[in-house]
Amino acid sequence: MTVTLYGIKNCDTIKKARKWLEQAGIDYRFVDHRADGLDPEQLAHWLEVLGHEALVNKRGTTYRTLSDEDKAALGPDTAAALLQAHPAMIKRPLLNLDGELHLGFKPELYASLFNQ
């Protein structure tokens, strides 16, 4: 089983997800969008699989500080460039479990994914 968790180290939801994985004894790799950067091909794959509406966190501070023009222009063709420039806008955590992508953290979801 290959488990990779993507997000930002100081995010409270990331901290909860990491704690859950560690307490469940699940080995995982953590990738910090800010510290490690974003692979454009990987981001394109996420957008293809999940769609920009799901992947963009519109509730966060980063999105709220965007100009009205950037918000209005956000769409399938512009999301990659905007997320590349503002990786904190990616909804988190993003869990890759053996190639299957899952957004957000809920203990019940993780328990079902890992048969806990």
Mean pLDDT, residues 57-61 taken together: 91
Is residue 11 annotated as a catalytic residue, yes or no? yes
Residue 1: per-residue pLDDT: 86
Question: Which of 11, 17, 89, 90 is an active site residue?
Answer: 11
The amino acid that residue 107 corresponds to is P
Residue 31: per-residue pLDDT: 97
What is residue 103's DSSP assignment? E
Nearest to 43 by CA among 9, 81, 73, 13: 81
Is pLDDT of 27 > 80? yes
| Residue 77 burial by Cβ neighbours in a 10 Å radius (0-12, 13-18, 19+) | exposed
Q: Do the Cβ atoms of 87 and 80 come closer than 8 Å?
A: no
Q: How confident is the model at residue 116 (pLDDT cuts 50, 70, 90)?
A: confident
Mean pLDDT, residues 7-12 taken together: 94
User: pTM of the full predicted structure?
Assistant: 0.92
Q: Residue 95 forms beta bridges with which residues?
A: 5, 102
Mean pLDDT, residues 21-27 taken together: 97
Residue 26: per-residue pLDDT: 97
Domain boundaries, the chain: 3-113
Domain 3-113: homologous superfamily in CATH: Glutaredoxin (3.40.30.10)
Cα 93 to Cα 109: distance, rounded to the nearest angstrom:
12
Q: Residue 102 forms beta bridges with which residues?
A: 95
Phi, psi at 62, each rounded to 5°: -60, -45
Q: What percent of the chain has pLDDT over 70?
A: 100
